[in-house]
Chain A
Amino acid sequence: MKGLPLIADPHVKIDMLSQPRYLAGARAMIASVARRLGFREADCAHVALALDEALCNVIKHGYEKREDQHIWISVWPMEGNCCGIRILIEDRGRQVEPAEIRSRQLDDIRPGGLGVHIISQVMDHVEYNKREGGGMSLLMEKHMAAEESMPQARKEPA
């Protein structure tokens, strides 16, 4: 894995089946975690959207819509100089060269092919890698704006 070593155990780790029915649960989980880490609501929504799009890509392209496969989601809070959230999505699906993962041209108006673009727009760091032993991994980070990264994280709405 380039760049950011993932030494510590994740604070959250989820093993989900590659079924679209679980996307809503994954979105709710990550938005809730982001909220408790202090992200503002719009950014929580973007983090949830990025996770959704990433999972959709695994289901559609990595596993070609097979529903009995596993996807692993790991989450770390980012603290210190750069506060935020780090999310790792791993699968055992079809491998592709990371350099070949790109969005379609946006002026080519047609259904599909937007997920990669959306992820790159709403997250601050996005890194695709081939996993040893098969499958792909996607590391995504969302950093907090300075005014959000206060010592006390925001309270969850009642």
Chain B
Amino acid sequence: MANAADDLPVEVEKQGEAVVLRPSGEIDLGRSPSLRTSISKVQSNRPQRLVFDLKDVPYMDSSGVATLVEAMQVARRYHGSVVLCGLHERVRSIFEIARLDMVFKIVDTLDEALQA
């Protein structure tokens, strides 16, 4: 049963050929469906580069990671790219544990992400 508490605010901003998604809050099994919906809307326009600015995401579990993996696979199908930036240490750690830090392009800042 979804409710308002399961909604994850996601700010969407177009920057040149890139679209920046800035989710805000913890991403877990309850909220990853909301993130997936936001991503799907953005990816329906096939942006060349999708940047996830995760500076306002203090926590993410494997359901959040799975949502980003899905976004990367969709982007690859239309020859787009996905870049992650602003990861908190706790969030970066889960990508490392899942050995996905070598699969995703992960940079420190939004500027780097837009130039990656």
Chain A positions within 8 Å of B, measured between CB atoms, are 19-21, 23-24, 27, 42, 45-46, 49, 52-53, 56, 59-60, 67, 106-107, 109-112, 114-115, 117-118, 121-122
Check A53–B69 contact: CB distance below 8 A: no
A21-B3 CB under 8 A given contacts A106-B99, A117-B97: yes
Check B99–A118 contact: CB distance below 8 A: no
Check B98–A56 contact: CB distance below 8 A: no
Which residues of A lie under 8 Å from residue B63 when comparing CB positions? 56
* Interface residues in B64-97 (C-beta closer than 8 Å to A): 65-67, 69-70, 73, 89-90, 93-94, 97
The 6 A-B residue pairs whose C-beta atoms are closest, nearest first, are A20-B30, A111-B66, A114-B62, A20-B29, A111-B70, A111-B69
Listed by A's residue number, 7 A-B pairs whose Cβ atoms lie within 8 Å are A19-B1, A20-B31, A24-B26, A46-B93, A56-B61, A59-B29, A114-B62
Check A118–B97 contact: CB distance below 8 A: yes
Chain B positions within 8 Å of A, measured between CB atoms, are 1, 3, 5-6, 26, 28-31, 59, 61-63, 65-67, 69-70, 73, 89-90, 93-94, 97-100, 103
Closest to B104 in A: A109
Which residues of A lie under 8 Å from residue B100 when comparing CB positions? 109
Complex-state Cα separation, A149 to B42, whole angstroms: 49
Which residues of B lie under 8 Å from residue A21 when comparing CB positions? 3, 5-6, 30
Which residues of A lie under 8 Å from residue B98 when comparing CB positions? 106, 114, 117-118
